[in-house]
Amino acid sequence: MNLCMIGTGYVGLVSGVCFADLGNKVYCLDKNKEKIKILKSGKSPIYEPGLDELIKKNYSVGRLIFTTDLNKAISKSELIFICVGTPTKKKSQNVDLSFVYNAVKEVAKSTKKRKLIITKSTVPVGTGDELDQILKKLKSNNIDVISNPEFLREGEAIRDFRFPDRIVVGSDKKKYFKVMKKIYQPLLNKGAKFFTTSRRGAELIKYASNAFLATKITFINELANLCEQTNIDIGDIALGMGSDTRIGGRFLRAGPAYGGSCFPKDTKGLVSTGNKFKTDLTIVKSVIKSNENRKKIHTQKIKKILGSCKNKKIAFLGVTFKPNTDDMRDSTSLKMIPHLSKLGAKIKYYDPTGEKNEFKHLKNCIFEKNIKENCKDADLIILHTEWDEFKSIDFKKINKNKRLKIFDLRNLFNVNEMKSRKIEYYSIGRQSFK
């Protein structure tokens, strides 16, 4: 089929390229001329492992068309996916739907033909109803709106598209389930569940899923705090809990705090939906508060570990919100590094995805191009992001400081091994921080 993805960000580009790889002809549409130019050169403007190869493969056989020409893309496509951003409004903390509204208005103005608009962007409950109103006002009676949320993790997005646990389609007109089942059939043949519900149901499933995952992570993070006061290993708790199939072992890894472009945005988005429909979502509110507060806990621990931070050399290994992405959105490092800089520490950082604009304005924070240069004269090494290349570092080899301390925010290393190597090692939920 001919599909159009409006928006070529993390969701639109990955979904478009993967749909093309399933044999569809996909028009990837974006207003950003620079982005389209990069895509036409066969490159991905975003860091997503494996995406460049898929773009080249499908672009070379004409299954992918990158364009800024909305009229052409819409006229050629039967299904139109809305994949534009839905950021959080700074002041109200509500979801900014302006890009979604504009995209739908432009589609309505560009055609009178029968089209199906599919919202893949994460949109609050009731957005489909609002889009119906917009279309009605524009006398666009031939365009319907359904919901098909995505569940792609950055860094694993291609795998998550190809092997989804479930495809969720929300529509109040059952006739649309057939065409959606058709485009996802190759994935259903490999075992993915095809789940249909109302349009509002699909909109809420997305927020509910992300908010629950954020809750699960925050739960284990708070238990990690308890473990530090009771000398229990949080890894044992995660295993002991996770072996219960009703709980499940995934997303029970204690860490710095959740970050990224989704959990922070979607937990706030769900609370604002609750407010709109006069329902107090107290658990999600407490998750947001707990996660935000957690970032301060780490700098307090660092002050305990170092005594004073003034003039101390601190080396960060990784600064992105998770490995296999260059995304810095809501990364814990964005709070920790400026705070430590204010306390007078001399900070270095290395990240496989390179130097970050977010830290360029800090006077005592520099980017080092490799692990050794970054760590060699540190007083404290902070393992912030669990990139594979950090997993076998021999700290004694790269740093001769007898009083070297390590703070492992991802529990990548083994407590006993560090003890036997006489390295002063701190981690999350595995030893006392009294």
Using CB under 6 A, pick the residue from 153, 181, 301, 376 that binds ligand UDX. Answer: 153
217 binds ligand UDX (CB under 6 A): yes
Which is the catalytic residue, given 18, 28, 83, 262? 262
Q: Nearer to ligand UDX by C-beta: 108 or 158?
A: 158
Alpha-carbon distance of 167 to 53, in angstroms, equals 25
Using CB under 6 A, pick the residue from 213, 315, 328, 371 that binds ligand UDX. Answer: 213
Stretch that binds ligand UDX, among 124-132, 173-181, 256-264, 390-398 (CB under 6 A): 256-264
Among 144, 134, 137, smallest CA distance to 114 is for 144
Question: Minimal distance in Å, beta carbon 40 to ligand UDX?
Answer: 26
Using CB under 6 A, pick the residue from 19, 161, 258, 387 that binds ligand UDX. Answer: 258
Distance of CA 65 to the CA centre of its chain: 26
Question: Minimal distance in Å, beta carbon 154 to ligand UDX?
Answer: 4
Q: Nearer to ligand UDX by C-beta: 21 or 327?
A: 327
Distances (CA, A) of 389 to 50, 340, 393: 18, 25, 8
Q: Is 309 a known active-site residue? A: no
259 binds ligand UDX (CB under 6 A): yes
Alpha-carbon distance of 101 to 406, in angstroms, equals 48
Alpha-carbon distance of 247 to 238, in angstroms, equals 10
Question: Under a CB-based contact definition with an 8 Å cutoff, are residues 3 and 183 in contact?
Answer: yes
47 binds ligand UDX (CB under 6 A): no
Using CB under 6 A, pick the residue from 263, 407, 413, 426 that binds ligand UDX. Answer: 263
Question: Minimal distance in Å, beta carbon 111 to ligand UDX?
Answer: 30
239 token code pair: 């295993």
390 binds ligand UDX (CB under 6 A): no
Distances (CA, A) of 78 to 73, 99, 143: 10, 21, 11
321 binds ligand UDX (CB under 6 A): yes
Stretch that binds ligand UDX, among 48-56, 249-257, 287-295, 346-354 (CB under 6 A): 249-257
Stretch that binds ligand UDX, among 81-89, 148-156, 194-202, 342-350 (CB under 6 A): 148-156
Using CB under 6 A, pick the residue from 251, 301, 423, 433 that binds ligand UDX. Answer: 251
Q: Nearer to ligand UDX by C-beta: 73 or 409?
A: 409
Q: For the residues of 56-87, what is the DSSP string, one character each? A: HHHHHTTSEEEES-HHHHHHH-SEEEE----P
Indicate if the alpha-carbon torsion angle 112, 115, 118, 121 is positive or negative: negative
Stretch that binds ligand UDX, among 36-44, 90-98, 130-138, 145-153 (CB under 6 A): 145-153
Q: Residue 333, SS3?
A: helix
Stretch that binds ligand UDX, among 152-160, 163-171, 334-342, 351-359 (CB under 6 A): 152-160
Alpha-carbon distance of 54 to 20, in angstroms, equals 9
Stretch that binds ligand UDX, among 43-51, 132-140, 259-267, 301-309 (CB under 6 A): 259-267
Alpha-carbon distance of 355 to 360, in angstroms, equals 8
Number of neighbouring beta carbons within 10 Å of residue 274: 17
Q: How many chain residues touch ligand UDX (CB under 6 A)?
A: 19
Residues 6+ apart with CB under 8 A from 206: 122, 149, 150, 151, 168, 266
Using CB under 6 A, pick the residue from 115, 253, 335, 356 that binds ligand UDX. Answer: 253
58-67 as b/e: b if 16+ CB within 10 A: bbeeebbbbb
Alpha-carbon distance of 202 to 209, in angstroms, equals 11
Q: Nearer to ligand UDX by C-beta: 128 or 164?
A: 164
Residues 6+ apart with CB under 8 A from 5: 12, 13, 15, 16, 19, 26, 27, 28, 29, 81, 83, 120
7 binds ligand UDX (CB under 6 A): no
255 binds ligand UDX (CB under 6 A): yes
Question: Minimal distance in Å, beta carbon 413 to ligand UDX?
Answer: 17
66 binds ligand UDX (CB under 6 A): no
CA atoms within 13 A on the CB side of 172: 9
Alpha-carbon distance of 322 to 259, in angstroms, equals 8
Question: Minimal distance in Å, beta carbon 223 to ligand UDX?
Answer: 12
123 binds ligand UDX (CB under 6 A): no
Question: Minimal distance in Å, beta carbon 73 to ligand UDX?
Answer: 24
User: What are the catalytic residues?
Assistant: 262
Please report, as ranges, the residues that interact with ligand UDX according to CB under 6 A.
150-154, 210, 213, 217, 251-253, 255, 258-260, 262-263, 321-322
